[in-house]
Copies of this chain bind each other. A is one copy, B any other.
Amino acid sequence: MTIKLDVQDAETGEVSRDTLIKRYSAVRLETEELCRPLVTEDYVMQTSPDVSPPNWHLGHTTWFFERLLLEPYLPGYSPHHPLFNYIFNSYYESLGPRNDRDRRGFLSRPTVQEVYDFRSAIDRAMGDLIETVDEPHWPEIAAMIELGLNHEQQHQELLLMDVKHIFASNPLRPVYREAGDRKRAQGTLPPPMEFAEIPGGVTQIGHGGRGFAYDNEGPKHRVFLNDFRLMTRLVTNGEFLVFIQEGGYDDPRWWLSDGWATVRERGWRSPLYWAEADGTWMVMTLRGYEPLVLDEPVSHVSYYEADAFARWAGRRLPTEGEWEHAVCSRGITPRTGNLLEDRAWGPRPANADQITPNELQQLFGDVWEWTQSAYLAYPGYRQAAGPLGEYNGKFMSNQMVLRGGSFGTPRSHIRATYRNFFQCDKRWPFAGFRLAQDE
């Protein structure tokens, strides 16, 4: 796995120890900051096999540094606790046996305090490592640290997803963060759908050159795309509500066969976290249980629901190549997206003033966008040997690619080439979609 850093000096490609220490501290602090609203009891909940307890996220991200940096590289380092490798290894077959994923919610010990102590100890040792490692090893160490920080950033979003699921599973419906002055426009009709024209041809997608990226984003390679049209904003709650009201969940015509089976088996009648009570649609959010806001992007839909909506609307989902090509050819960056640092705790409505036939918005942040591309290896991809090879490569089956990040994704973590992936039936990610159509 070629790891490329985004804290590199633009010209020399070098990374200073100071810069990396600052970034290390910032990322690590952010994780703890995200946990601040939790009480001790919240930390140890696992409300579905997909969910991990916050305490486990805190420990696992720390274990990653211990296991992949301190143990191999810090002379004389011995593990903080002999069983933490067993407890906090997630899925790395090459790093030894581990506690089953669906038993993470059985871990009342180590306690929350003990895991925070583990974090502190590892942070001190990481400081030692960064300061003392000799120059020849520095680039390799720096790259691994950057990977560890990106790993932790991924878990920051997972943490928010999981906290939301934990709170939504509780009859008392706790509030994660108060909404502040968020303008609620639940009665507002969504602005009309517009589609931007994107010329195709042979183009390049995937990551190349400097800056950090995961192995699955590369190699950069050529693809041929037809001309296509891409919806300028995300599909809204209001639009999805029409699909529901017109019987979308009852009509097999719109559904993939697997999707239709899933709808019936699980009794899906709306996106996850929606509930109809006395004729009003309510929705569980990180800011509490509140009436559905019609012009906000729809969220917590599966691939099946996104795809069914697209068929019902006579459109389709974009491919990941189309999405990336649109973003790159228009020069769109994560700079203005509604991302984690914005502290919105949910997607925001599109900018109605900005809705012009050809101006794309909401591509970064708000919600991840389902694409109709399966998560598979790019041409020329080779999985690394050892534990890092397990990071992404072994998940290349039965999953679809999502692009663009959400309100829960750190800004320094997302980029145009970033490939997120989930199974078609998953609904707990912050995932929505936009439509595409052939020219």
Chain A interface (Cβ < 8 Å from any Cβ of B): 39-47, 55, 83, 86-87, 91, 93-94, 99, 103, 105-112, 166, 169-172, 174, 202, 221-226, 252-253, 255-260, 303-304, 307, 311, 316, 319, 372-374, 376-377, 379-380, 383, 389, 394-398, 400, 424, 438
CA distance A221 to B316 in the complex (A): 18
CA distance A259 to B42 in the complex (A): 33
Partner of A171, one of B83, B105, B400: B83
Report 26 cross-chain contacts, Cβ distance below 8 Å, ordered by A residue: A41-B43, A41-B55, A41-B108, A46-B105, A87-B171, A93-B252, A93-B253, A105-B105, A106-B169, A108-B170, A109-B174, A202-B202, A202-B224, A222-B224, A222-B226, A225-B379, A253-B389, A256-B397, A257-B395, A257-B397, A260-B394, A311-B383, A372-B376, A372-B377, A374-B376, A398-B424
A260:B438 contact, CB within 8 angstroms: no
B166:A108 contact, CB within 8 angstroms: yes
B224:A394 contact, CB within 8 angstroms: no
A374:B377 contact, CB within 8 angstroms: no
B103:A169 contact, CB within 8 angstroms: yes
In the complex, what residue of chain B is closest to A169 when comparing beta carbons?
A: B106
Q: How far is the CB of A347 from chain B (nearest CB, A)?
A: 25
Closest 8 pairs (CB-CB, A-B): A374-B374, A93-B252, A41-B108, A42-B108, A106-B169, A257-B394, A224-B224, A40-B40
CA distance A39 to B109 in the complex (A): 9
Chain B residues within 8 Å of A94, by CB: 252-253
CA distance A170 to B258 in the complex (A): 26
Partner of A170, one of B43, B109, B223, B400: B109
B171:A86 contact, CB within 8 angstroms: yes
Chain B residues within 8 Å of A424, by CB: 397-398
Q: How far is the CB of A404 from chain B (nearest CB, A)?
A: 20
CA distance A307 to B303 in the complex (A): 25
CA distance A258 to B130 in the complex (A): 37
14 additional A-B pairs beyond A256-B396, A257-B394, beta carbons within 8 Å, are: A40-B111, A40-B112, A41-B55, A41-B111, A42-B108, A45-B105, A99-B171, A108-B166, A108-B170, A222-B224, A223-B223, A223-B224, A225-B379, A372-B377
Chain B residues within 8 Å of A41, by CB: 40-41, 43-44, 55, 108-109, 111-112
Chain B residues within 8 Å of A166, by CB: 106, 108
Of residues A42, A108, A377, which shows the largest number of chain B Cβ atoms within 10 Å of its Cβ? Answer: A108
Partner of A44, one of B44, B110, B307, B380: B44
CA distance A109 to B307 in the complex (A): 36
B109:A172 contact, CB within 8 angstroms: yes
Would A398 and B258 be within 8 Å (CB), given that A171-B83, A224-B223 are in contact? yes
CA distance A365 to B157 in the complex (A): 48
B379:A376 contact, CB within 8 angstroms: no
Partner of A39, one of B87, B111, B222, B396: B111
A47:B106 contact, CB within 8 angstroms: yes
CA distance A255 to B374 in the complex (A): 18
Chain B residues within 8 Å of A46, by CB: 105
CA distance A377 to B252 in the complex (A): 19
CA distance A304 to B394 in the complex (A): 11
Q: How far is the CB of A268 from chain B (nearest CB, A)?
A: 16
Chain B residues within 8 Å of A380, by CB: 226, 438
A255:B394 contact, CB within 8 angstroms: yes
Of residues A40, A46, A223, which shows the largest number of chain B Cβ atoms within 10 Å of its Cβ? Answer: A40
Q: How far is the CB of A376 from chain B (nearest CB, A)?
A: 6
In the complex, what residue of chain B is closest to A228 when comparing beta carbons?
A: B379
Q: How far is the CB of A171 from chain B (nearest CB, A)?
A: 5
